[in-house]
Amino acid sequence: MTINPYLPLEAEVIERIQETPTIVTLRLRLTDPDARHRFYCSPGQFNMLYLYGVGEVPISIKSGPQSFLDQTLLLDHTIRAVGRVTRALVELQPGARLGVRGPYGRGWPLKEAQGKDVHVITGGLGCAPAVSMVHELVKQRGRFGRISVVQGVKHADDLIWREQYEHWAKQPDTQVLLAADQPDATWRWHQGMVTGLLDQLTLNPDRSIAMLCGPEPMMRASAERLIELGLEPEQIWLSMERNMQCAIGHCGHCQFGGAFVCKDGPVFNYPQVRELLGVRGF
Amino acid sequence: MEIPGYLPREQLQALLERLQQQGYRCVGPRVREGAMVYDDINHADQLAVGYTQTQEPGHYRLKAGSTVRQFAWANGPQALKPLTFAPREELWCAQEQPDGSLKFHPAATDYEPVAVIGVRACDLAALRLQEQHFLDSCADPQFAVRRRSLFLIAVNCTHPAQTCFCASTGDGPEVDQDCDLSLYETDEGFFVSAVSPAGQQLALTLPLEHGDAELFKQACAEVTRAGEAQVRRVPAKNLRDSLFAQLDHPRWKEVAERCLSCGNCTQVCPTCFCHSETSVPSVDGHQTTHQRQWDSCFSPGHSYIHGITLRKETEQRYRQWLTHKFGSWHDQYGRSGCVGCGRCISWCPVGIDPTEELDVICTDVTGRPE
C-alpha cells in the first residue's frame, strides 16, 4: 500500500496476451524495485490501473506475488474492453508505462476453506478473480478436500484458459465442469447455463464452501440453487463489482446497501448481500 | 452553573484580531446573492447583521433590518463541508517523461489555517460524520490537514427555520462539543464558552466582561425554545429496517415524478461524501492532474459499471439517496447520516421533504406503521 492512498506506483507492461478479440491480459512489473518487493496480494483482491491522461479502473489481480517469499513479482490483470478506459488499456504494448494502486479489498476466504470441499463457480470473465484462488488451492492441495471448478460462458469462444481447466481436471479429487450457452462444433462439455451443472457437483453440504464470481443473476441463481442442494447461506461467498473510483471506501460509488464493495468486499459472505442482490437499482 | 464571560458586540473585532494574529484566515456569514454564505472576513464590520430568514420547502429568503443580531437565522446553503472536503481539488499529478516513463506527485497540502465564525450545531454533527467517513478507516490526507487547520467558533441556534429538525435527530440546536469556542448571542453581545484547549487559550486573550447570570439563563432558554419550536421530525423508529422493508413502496414512483434528479439536495447536504475522480490533461499533454469533485447519487455516472448504468430511473436514485442517508448509513457509521439541517428541503427546486417521504414510506401501504 502506498503512503498516500491515492498515489499510483509506476508499472511497465512486460507482456500482452490477447485472450479473445476483446479480452487481454497485461503482465505488469512495478518499476521501483523497493515497491516491487513490498507488494503482495491475496487471491480475490484488485488493483486500480491508471492509464496516463485517461483515468483509473479497478481490475482484479489474476495472479500476483502472495508473500514476500514469492519471486514472480509480476502482476497479471485480465481486462475486457468495455468502457472508455479499458478500451484504451487493452491497446497497451510491452514497454508501455501505467500507474498501479493497490492491492485493495478483501479476497477469498482461503482460511475458512481449509479442510473443506471447495466449489468454485464462475461465469464469463468472473473466472479471472477466481483463477489465483484455484491456483492456491492446487498448490496447497493437502489442505483442502475435494475441489470443483465450474465455469460457464455465453459463446464457446469466450472460454479462455482452456488448457488450465484441462490441467486442473487431471488433479486428484478435482472436478471440472464447463458450460457454454452457445457451444460450437468443438465443444465437448455441457450446453446451457452454469446453474445447470450444479446438480452434477459431488456435494457434501456439511463440509463444503462455495466461491462464486460472475454476473449477478448467475451468482444469485447459483447461490440459491446451492442452498436448495443443502448448503447454508454462510457457506457461500461471492465477489461483487460496482463503480469504484477511490478504492478505499471514500468516493461512495461502490455502495451496495451499507457495504462499500471496494473495502468491505469485493468478496462477501452471501448473507451480507443476499437482501439486495438482484434488486434493481442497487 | 458557571457563567461564561461576556463579549460585547462592539468587541467582536477583538476576537477577529486575535485569530488573525494567530495566522488564521477568518470566514463568517456574509450575504451573497440573497443567501447567507461563509466568506472571508477581514473586519468584524463585514459580518452580516440584522438578517432573519424564511425557509420552507423549495424556498429560502433573507430579510434585512429586522433584528439587531448577527446570527438570527438558521443556516445558508453551505455547511462546513467545503472547508474540509473541497468541491473540486487535485489529488495528484502525473508527468510523462521524454523516455515514456511516468512520475507521480501528490498534491500539496500546505493549506492555510481557517477560523470559522458562526458554526451551527448541525454542521458540527455533520463534520463528525465526515470525519468518521474520511479519517477513521483510511485517512484522507487532504481532509486530515484541512480539518486540523480549522478553528471553529460555534453560535448556538436561536432562530430555527421551518425546515429545521435537528432536535429530532439529536444534533442541535445546542452546541455541545467538537468546536473551539461556543457563543450564545444576546441583543448586546455574546457569552463565550471555551470548549477546546485552543479555545481556552484564545478566550484568555479576549476582553471578556463578567457575564450576568440572569441574561445567560435567558440566552440558554432561547436555545431550548429553538429546539421546541421545530415542526419537522424524522420518524422515531428503526428507519434502517423500515426503509429496506419498503423498497417496493408506491411512494418511490410518486416522489420520482416530482424529483428532478438535479442533485441539489446532495450538494447542500453537509454529510454527503460522494465524489468522482477525473484525469485532466494539460494542453501540451506532458502532465495530467487527477482531480476529484463532488458527485451525486442523482447523476447518471454515479452507478455506471462496465457499460451499464445501474440506476437509470429517478425512482432508483431517490431511493438510493434516502435509503442510504437514513438507512444503510446506520450499517456504515452506527447512526443516521442526517443531522436535521433541513437544507435539502429548502434548496430542492420542487420542495421535496425527506421527513414527509419517510413518514409515508415507513408506513406500509395499508396505512399501518411498520
* Chain B residue whose CA is closest to A87: B306
pLDDT at A1: 42
Q: Counting one residue from A and one from B, how many pairs have CB atoms under 8 Å apart? A: 134
Is residue B347 in some structural domain? yes
Last residue of a domain, one of B202, B228, B254: B228
Q: Dig out the grid coordinates for B345 from the structure.
A: 428541503
Which among B103, B138, B316 has the least Cβ separation from residue A248? B138
A14 Cβ partners below 8 Å, 6+ apart? A27, A28, A29, A74, A94
Specify the length of chain B in residues.
370
Residues of B in contact with A263 (CB under 8 A): 137-138
Architecture of domain A9-104: Beta Barrel (2.40)
Same domain, B158 and B33: yes
Closest CA to A128 of A27, A228, A213, A209: A213
Residues of A in contact with B332 (CB under 8 A): 258, 260
pLDDT at B363: 80
A11 to chain B, closest Cα gap in Å: 9
Which among A242, A249, A257 has the least Cβ separation from residue B137? A249
Domain extent listing, chain A? 9-104, 110-273
B88 to chain A, closest Cα gap in Å: 13
B289 to chain A, closest Cα gap in Å: 8
pLDDT at B2: 87
Listed by number, the residues of chain A in 88-127 with a beta carbon closer than 8 Å to a beta carbon of chain B are 95-99
Model confidence pLDDT, tens digit, residues A118-153: 999 999 998 999 999 999 999 999 999 999 999 999
Is residue B233 in some structural domain? no
Q: State yes or no: pLDDT of B369 exceeds 60.
A: no
Q: What's the mean per-residue pLDDT of chain A?
A: 94
B305 to chain A, closest Cα gap in Å: 5
Is residue B336 in some structural domain? yes
B296 to chain A, closest Cα gap in Å: 9
HSE toward the beta carbon, residue B77, CA cutoff 13 A: 18
Section B185-200 average pLDDT:
97
Same domain, B311 and B352: yes
pLDDT at A108: 97
Closest CA to A267 of A103, A70, A115: A103
DSSP secondary structure letter of residue B325:
I
Q: State yes or no: pLDDT of A68 exceeds 70.
A: no
Q: Which long-range contacts (CB under 8 A, 24 or more apart) does B248-253 make?
A: B249/B360, B249/B361, B249/B364, B249/B365, B250/B365, B251/B357, B251/B360, B251/B361, B252/B315, B252/B318, B252/B319, B252/B361, B253/B315
CB B336 within 8 A of CB B329: yes
Confidence of residue A239 (pLDDT cuts 50, 70, 90): very high
Model confidence pLDDT, tens digit, residues B77-112: 999 999 999 999 999 999 999 999 999 999 999 999
CB B56 within 8 A of CB B164: no
Query: What CATH code is assigned to A110-273?
Result: 3.40.50.80
Q: Bridge partners of A152?
A: A123, A179
- The count of other CB atoms within 10 Å of the CB of residue B163 is 29
Using the beta-carbon criterion (under 8 Å), do B137 and A251 form an inter-chain contact?
no
Is residue B36 in some structural domain? yes
Q: Dig out the grid coordinates for B310 from the structure.
A: 445501474
pLDDT at B364: 60
pLDDT at B370: 45
Q: State yes or no: pLDDT of A2 exceeds 70.
A: no
Using the beta-carbon criterion (under 8 Å), do B316 and A251 form an inter-chain contact?
no
Is residue B370 in some structural domain? no
Model confidence pLDDT, tens digit, residues B139-151: 999 999 999 999 9
Q: Measure the CA–CA gap between A210 and A223, rounded to whole angstroms.
A: 8
What amino acid occupies position B239?
L
pLDDT at A65: 77
Same domain, B204 and B139: yes
Residues of B in contact with A50 (CB under 8 A): 94, 279, 290
- The count of other CB atoms within 10 Å of the CB of residue B193 is 22
Same domain, B245 and B194: no
Listed by number, the residues of chain A in 243-262 with a beta carbon closer than 8 Å to a beta carbon of chain B are 243, 245-246, 248-253, 255, 257-260
Listed by number, the residues of chain A in 136-195 with a beta carbon closer than 8 Å to a beta carbon of chain B are none
Same domain, B141 and B56: yes
Using the beta-carbon criterion (under 8 Å), do B104 and A7 form an inter-chain contact?
yes
pLDDT at B300: 92
Q: Measure the CA–CA gap between B228 and B223, rounded to whole angstroms.
A: 9
Model confidence pLDDT, tens digit, residues B213-225: 999 999 999 999 9
Confidence of residue A60 (pLDDT cuts 50, 70, 90): very high
Which among A5, A258, A281 has the least Cβ separation from residue B332? A258
Give the sign of the dihedral formed by CA B133, CA B136, CA B142, CA B145.
positive
Q: Is A84 on the interface with B (CB under 8 A)?
A: no
B320 φ, ψ to 5°?
Answer: -60, -45
Domain interval for residue B161: 5-228
Residues of A in contact with B275 (CB under 8 A): 245-246, 250-252
Closest CA to B348 of B327, B305, B318: B318
Same domain, B56 and B203: yes
Is residue B245 in some structural domain? yes
B290 to chain A, closest Cα gap in Å: 8
- Establish whether this prediction's ipTM goes over 0.90: yes
Same domain, B263 and B340: yes
Using the beta-carbon criterion (under 8 Å), do B330 and A258 form an inter-chain contact?
yes
Number of structural domains (chain B) is: 2
pLDDT at A164: 93
Residues of B in contact with A282 (CB under 8 A): 310, 320
Same domain, B210 and B246: no
Which among A6, A97, A250 has the least Cβ separation from residue B102? A97
Closest CA to A250 of B72, B91, B289, B231: B91
Same domain, B81 and B184: yes
CB B166 within 8 A of CB B195: no
Q: Measure the CA–CA gap between B314 and B299, rounded to whole angstroms.
A: 9
Q: Bridge partners of B27?
A: B40, B116
Last residue of a domain, one of B228, B248, B274: B228
Which among A10, A255, A258 has the least Cβ separation from residue B102? A10
- Measured CA angle at B32 (ends B31, B33), to 5 deg: 125
Which among A82, A97, A263 has the least Cβ separation from residue B101? A97
Q: State yes or no: pLDDT of B240 exceeds 60.
A: yes
Same domain, B311 and B346: yes
Same domain, B176 and B220: yes
Section B145-158 average pLDDT:
97
Confidence of residue A106 (pLDDT cuts 50, 70, 90): very high
Section B357-361 average pLDDT:
95
Q: Which segments of chain B does DSSP mark as H helices, in order? A: 12-21, 81-84, 121-135, 141-148, 166-169, 197-204, 213-228, 239-244, 250-258, 264-268, 314-323, 329-333, 343-346, 354-361
Is residue B234 in some structural domain? no
Same domain, B245 and B192: no
Model confidence pLDDT, tens digit, residues A246-278: 999 999 999 999 999 999 999 999 999 999 999
pLDDT at B366: 52
Section A11-26 average pLDDT:
96
Q: Measure the CA–CA gap between A240 and B164, rounded to whole angstroms.
A: 39
B230 to chain A, closest Cα gap in Å: 30
pLDDT at B177: 83
Q: State yes or no: pLDDT of A206 exceeds 90.
A: yes
Closest CA to B72 of B39, B102, B36: B36
B329 to chain A, closest Cα gap in Å: 6
Q: Measure the CA–CA gap between A113 and B271, rounded to whole angstroms.
A: 39
CB A61 within 8 A of CB A77: yes
Q: What's the mean per-residue pLDDT of chain B?
A: 95
* Chain A residue whose CA is closest to B310: A281
Section A50-78 average pLDDT:
88
Last residue of a domain, one of B206, B228, B250: B228
Specify the length of chain A in residues.
282
Q: State yes or no: pLDDT of A72 exceeds 80.
A: no
Q: State yes or no: pLDDT of B365 exceeds 60.
A: no
Is residue B143 in some structural domain? yes
Residues of A in contact with B140 (CB under 8 A): 5, 250
Model confidence pLDDT, tens digit, residues B284-332: 888 999 999 999 999 999 999 988 999 999 999 999 999 999 999 999 9
Sort residue B227 into left (φ over 0), alpha (ψ -120 to 50) or beta. Answer: alpha
